[in-house]
Amino acid sequence: MTTSETLFARAQELIPGGVNSPVRAFRSVGGVPVFMQSARGAWLTDVDGKQYVDFINSWGPMILGHAPAVVLDALTKALPDSLSFGAPTRREVELAELLIELVPSLEKVRLVNSGTEATMSAIRVARGYTGRAKILKFEGCYHGHGDSFLIAAGSGALTLGAPDSPGVTEGVARDTLTVPYNDLAAVEAAIAANPDQLAAIIIEPVVGNMGLVEPAPGFLAGLRALCTKHSIVLIFDEVMTGFRLAPGGAQERYGVVPDMTTLGKIIGGGLPVGAYGGRADIMNQVAPAGKVYQAGTLSGNPLATAAGMAQLRYLHEHPEVYQQLETIGTRLADGTRQIAKELGLHYTVNQVGSMFSLFFTPEPVNNLEDAKKANLPAFGRYFHAMLNRGIYLAPSQFEALFISTAITDELVEKYLTACRESLIEAHH
Ligand SMILES: *Cc1c(COP(=O)(O)O)cnc(C)c1O
């Protein structure tokens, strides 16, 4: 037995499914999850000493690779001062300043402890601001595990959602509408069927949570126009895309400014941080400025702000990082596409900057329905073939890969060699 197998057996006795977040359990690819020991740069080392090149990077936060000196130094410096005050600190002001400077839609911002907290809070504020109850989300977009977001599509585009998880009440589900991603006509129809009832439309401006899916040309601008016309708060959930696809996130990259934005992942530099913000008139609804309640014992935690600040400052001062990530992302995606083609598979590869997905289907993937056409057993075999070759991918077809600046040209070649061998292995 490997140490991972031993630990997983113990974990399953103690922790539901043996993990503290479901995707880590490898359920959709089978097998035993790898327990990690340490990481540096592009490399992960597991509890048995085996090494892997990391293409998940903690699901996005580690954009500079693991243990970057700039973040470790900031943490080391902050450590002796305090682990938590529960009182305001200078770094919270500086971090807010930096976020507002970089993200186009932010005029005011509130720090929280996770992406889930950010999205839950953002829709509460949008509801408080508009006095309306319903929200609209897109099938396959993930906005954390708040009740309002764990809603599956109803039977038609105009029907209300159904709970996607036991424990989410039908009452909550009634207030969440779902429509297919990239379908502006469905959004218009949903608005028309619920006149003056929608508080917010929340969207991943580039989707990472059904695999990587790009917004169709004009889709985000179309949403912007509809929200303005109907006084609906447009929320971009940039927990994944913020500071990844551009310094100002997808909203900068696509030139569409939402009313509110949620952030997480990268802004904590690997520590638990989230943030939500937007137009000042909306954010002034938040307590104690306004009446919409939201709070957090550890919000603005001094270590989290030290790590986040260091990483964001680095990105701000080194904009060439984004060009580097773009180039590596394109090489990986083009290389993967080429290999699949040479093998006669013609699989779809979607890529935006440093996020990409290989879908095990030859058809274009523009929404969840498309993504679901993928050959999941073949993906599972591919995943394990890559893992055996020391390439650590997301253990699900419906997740994007995240590239860090630690991926060198040499590691791109290593990935592509493994990709070719693994695709062959997965299909014979
Ligand atoms: C990860 C993610 C969240 C949830 O963030 P947590 O920190 O895991 O709670 C929300 N929205 C998007 C788009 C995400 O990718």
Check if 81 is active-site.
no
Q: Which residues contact 170 (CB under 8 A, 6 or more apart)?
A: 162, 163
Rounded to two decimals, what is the model's pTM?
Answer: 0.97
301 lines ligand 1 (CB under 6 A): no
pLDDT above 60 (res 155): no
pLDDT above 70 (res 247): yes
Structure confidence at residue 154 (pLDDT): 62
pLDDT above 50 (res 157): no
Based on the fold, state whether residues 192 and 285 are members of the same structural domain. Answer: yes
What is the 205 CA–ligand 1 centroid distance (Å)? 13
pLDDT above 70 (res 160): no
Listed residues 281, 302, 317: the one ending a domain: 317
pLDDT above 90 (res 152): no
What is the 240 CA–ligand 1 centroid distance (Å)? 7
Check if 322 is active-site.
no
123 C-beta neighbours (distance < 10 Å), count: 25
Overall domain count for the chain: 2
Listed residues 254, 284, 317: the one ending a domain: 317
Based on the fold, state whether residues 138 and 264 are members of the same structural domain. Answer: yes
Cα–Cα distances (Å) from 137 to 115, 150, 202, 226, in that order, read 16, 10, 5, 14
Based on the fold, state whether residues 207 and 165 are members of the same structural domain. Answer: yes
Based on the fold, state whether residues 212 and 308 are members of the same structural domain. Answer: yes
Structure confidence at residue 162 (pLDDT): 81
Based on the fold, state whether residues 131 and 44 are members of the same structural domain. Answer: no
What is the 259 CA–ligand 1 centroid distance (Å)? 19
Listed residues 263, 282, 317: the one ending a domain: 317
- Which residue's CA is the closest to the ligand 1 atom numbered 6? 115
Token representation of residue 294: 């939201």
Give the whole-number percent of the chain exceeding pLDDT 90.
Answer: 96
Nearest atom in ligand 1 to the alpha carbon of residue 116 is: 9
DSSP letter string, 164-215: SSTTS-HHHHHTEEEE-TT-HHHHHHHHHHSTTTEEEEEE-SSB-BTB-BPP
Catalytic residue among 175, 181, 265, 347: 265
| pLDDT tens by residue, 163-212 | 889 999 999 999 999 999 999 999 999 999 999 999 999 999 999 999 99
Check if 134 is active-site.
no
Token representation of residue 181: 């991603």
Q: Which residues contact 255 (CB under 8 A, 6 or more apart)?
A: none
> Which has more confidence, 319 or 158?
319
Based on the fold, state whether residues 111 and 42 are members of the same structural domain. Answer: no
Structure confidence at residue 387 (pLDDT): 98
| pLDDT tens by residue, 315-348 | 999 999 999 999 999 999 999 999 999 999 999 9
pLDDT above 90 (res 37): yes
Based on the fold, state whether residues 273 and 325 are members of the same structural domain. Answer: no
Token representation of residue 214: 């790009």
Q: Is the CB of residue 110 less than 8 Å from the CB of residue 294?
A: yes
Q: How far apart are CA 337 and CA 350, in angstroms?
A: 9
CATH number at residue 362: 3.90.1150.10
Domain that holds residue 39: 3-67+319-426
| pLDDT tens by residue, 278-300 | 999 999 999 999 999 999 999 99
Structure confidence at residue 161 (pLDDT): 75
What is the 236 CA–ligand 1 centroid distance (Å)? 12
pLDDT above 90 (res 159): no
Pocket test for ligand 1, best of 56, 57, 116, 181 (most atoms within 8 A of CB): 116
**Greatest Cα-to-Cα distance within the chain, rounded to the nearest angstrom:** 62
261 lines ligand 1 (CB under 6 A): no
